[in-house]
Chain A
Amino acid sequence: MRGSRPLPDTNPELLVLDAQDLCREYRVENWHLARDGSGRVIRGASGLTWLDGVLVAVSGVLWRSVPSIQSHSIAQAAAVLMLILLVYYKCTQVLWESILVFPSHGIQLETHRGFPPYPLLASRRFIPILELQDLIINEGLRGWAVRYYLAAMYQPPGPQRLAVAYENILPLFPVLHEVYVGVHAYLQSNMGNYNETT
């Protein structure tokens, strides 16, 4: 398993991992360099931070001292529920998303979540090569902005559909372009049964 960063200066969060003859993974990790040129790292998923410590301390103090929480079971249940929600939120942060390309088998879109830096959950979506029609970069409205997104056009039994890659992280165009060129080149160079429609 060899890894390299194709854009080390501007977008080091993009990794290309190669398992020889089996697959190639284009992984985008959930952090990026500050875009104002300072080189600071902006993380999308945070581990244990000072804020978590403060929250735990404050809730401990409230639990012990505020009489209304000690007496009413509804308030206790609400407090426990909020704690559970906090833990759930912290443990399902997106760590990385990737596209795995299996030449002559298909492509797989993955999202790995967990408590940084430990992955706990993973969701995967496989698109067989015979269903896959094209990999495109398209633009769409997202909230108040227009964003580029990378999507796989495929035809399952039924109408044609689009599967969006890097759905949660949504990197900017330079990363998407690099992945687009890489995936197309990799699939073409390992032709086998794959017929690309242009």
Chain B
Amino acid sequence: MANSPLSIAMISDFFHPNVGGVENHIYMLSVNLLRRGHKVIVITHSYPPDRVGVRWLLPGLKVYYIPFTTLVSSATLPDFLTFLPYFRNIILRERITLIHAHASLSALGHEGILHAHLLGVRTVFTDHSLFGFADAASILTNKLLEATMRTVGATICVSHTGRENTVLRANLAPEDVYVIPNSLIADQFLPAATPLTSDTVTIVVVSRLAYRKGVDLLVAAAPRICAACPNVRFVVGGDGPKLIDLLQMREKYFLQDRIELLGPVLHRDVPKVLTRGAIFLNTSLTEAFGTAILEAACAGLYIVSTRVGGVPEILPEDMISFALPTEDDIFRAIVEAIDIVQHGKHDPHRAHERIRGFYDWKQVAVRTEKVYRAVMDSPPQNLWTRIERTMGLGPFVGPIFTIILAVDCLFFMCLEYWYPREDIDYVDKQWGKHRFEEVLET
């Protein structure tokens, strides 16, 4: 029983063809779990015009695109009951035993966890981002998260700071939350084969140019650095609403030959951009893990970053210089980094080898599997405990979510009558590791 393969469904609004950290995490984790012999499918929402239905990703990952309309940045509305019919059909036909939902902003993930008990399926939730507590969106999302966390089997966060944040937002017991950091594929981020010329120091910035990525700090610090250090150049890749601020700053200080703006950079071109520089600058105002920083460090760059969120946990002290999120401190940190790089105190190839040893997707899959086994071995919550815990959410939210739970159960009962289980098209022949190897050999 301890070593039998699991059937896992990853549920999230955020999956390919969208590109991002959560999407990449889900894909890499699924692939490594497939390699370990489990069965993994992904359930996500559809992309117009025609990405609806069942698709396959190499190496044998099945993706269900369910037709729901998206609201903003690929997240759907929490319409609790409309997902249940699709969910029931998919989970039954694939004979799924465990659900892994990703991202607090993903309504599909929350709904998957809420419906899972009706089918006797266990649940795990991974939270990928940090949230505030004061603005309207955060208050609502935090309450939704708290409701889901009352009934989930286990929670995983990507950093210890993330764990603190999730525990506070969702009122959880900290000892019930696991921390499994993200990872990266070190082979994709190799340092430059030929060393860079030591007369100019290039600082690379690659990020979405939005407010929360701290572009204002970059706009304030870049002219000061260019004035103080005449041999420094900036290469900025990425696009977003704050690009206009960078362009205006460049015009105002006549830095067209010192600051190069690349525009949007595809993920597969990022390693080429990174190897152009010796220093990577990250000025985010909030960051749960900082995969971009890790990728830059793997490519051999020295890192300058704001000390926020989970960033202090990801790299050893001698590979990164921290700054407070103020213009003066960033200036100080960059000057310090330029000094380190110019005196040759940072070895890109040694840095790459160290990162290769620290981070590995296979390890993430092994640790996640341990969480899965712990959940599968623990006793499930019965319906009465579930109702009691949901009622304990608060004087208003408690009854609301309990009513949703009750209506959910009734709807499920109707579905069991109108769409009997024997009429479902079960999946009995499927791609497995062995079948895939067979086909590749012929």
A→B interface (CB under 8 Å): 35-36, 138-141, 144-148, 172-173, 177
Contact = CB atoms under 8 A, between A and B. Distances in A.
B422 A146 contact: no
A145 B419 contact: yes
Interface in B416-437: 419-420, 422-426, 428-429
Contact of A147 (B66, B422, B425): B425
Contacts of A36: 422
Interface string B76-92: 00000000011001100
Contacts, number: 41
Given A35-B422, A35-B423, A172-B425, A144 B85 contact: yes
A140 B53 contact: yes
Given A35-B423, A173-B425, A173-B426, A145 B53 contact: no
Given A35-B423, A36-B422, A139-B53, A146 B64 contact: yes
B425 A141 contact: no
A177 B52 contact: no
Interface centre among B52, B89, B419, B429 (most CB of A within 10 A): B89
A146 B85 contact: no
Given A146-B53, A146-B89, A146-B93, 14 more contacts: A141-B52, A141-B53, A141-B54, A141-B66, A144-B86, A144-B89, A145-B425, A146-B90, A146-B425, A173-B425, A173-B426, A173-B428, A173-B429, A177-B429
Interface centre among A36, A138, A141 (most CB of B within 10 A): A141
A147 B424 CA distance: 8
Nearest to A174: B428
Nearest to A171: B425
Contacts of A148: 425
A177 B90 CA distance: 20
Main SS class of interface, A: strand
Contacts of A177: 429
B223 interface: no
A35 B429 CA distance: 19
A137 to B, nearest CB: 9
Contacts of A173: 425-426, 428-429
Interface in B388-442: 419-420, 422-426, 428-429
B325 interface: no
7 contacts: A141-B52, A141-B53, A141-B54, A145-B424, A146-B53, A146-B54, A148-B425
Contacts of B85: 144-145
Contacts of B423: 35, 172
A56 to B, nearest CB: 29
Contacts of B52: 141
A146 B420 CA distance: 14
B67 interface: yes
B54 A140 contact: yes
A139 B54 contact: yes
A168 to B, nearest CB: 16
A145 B89 contact: yes
A25 B90 CA distance: 33
A138 B66 CA distance: 16
Contacts of B426: 173
A145 B90 CA distance: 8
Interface string B187-211: 0000000000000000000000000
B392 to A, nearest CB: 33
A145 B94 CA distance: 12
Nearest to B423: A35
Contacts of A147: 425
A173 B52 CA distance: 21
A143 to B, nearest CB: 8
Nearest to B64: A146
A152 to B, nearest CB: 18
A10 to B, nearest CB: 12
Contacts of B419: 144-145
A78 B348 CA distance: 85
A172 B425 CA distance: 6
B305 to A, nearest CB: 44
Interface centre among A138, A139, A148, A173 (most CB of B within 10 A): A139
Contacts of A139: 53-54, 425
A34 to B, nearest CB: 8
Contacts of A140: 53-54
A139 B425 CA distance: 10
Contacts of B54: 138-141, 146
A136 B53 CA distance: 16
B286 to A, nearest CB: 38
A140 B86 CA distance: 12
Interface in B68-119: 85-86, 89-90, 93
A140 B66 CA distance: 11
Nearest to A176: B425
A-B residue pairs, 4 tightest by C-beta: A35-B422, A144-B85, A139-B54, A145-B89
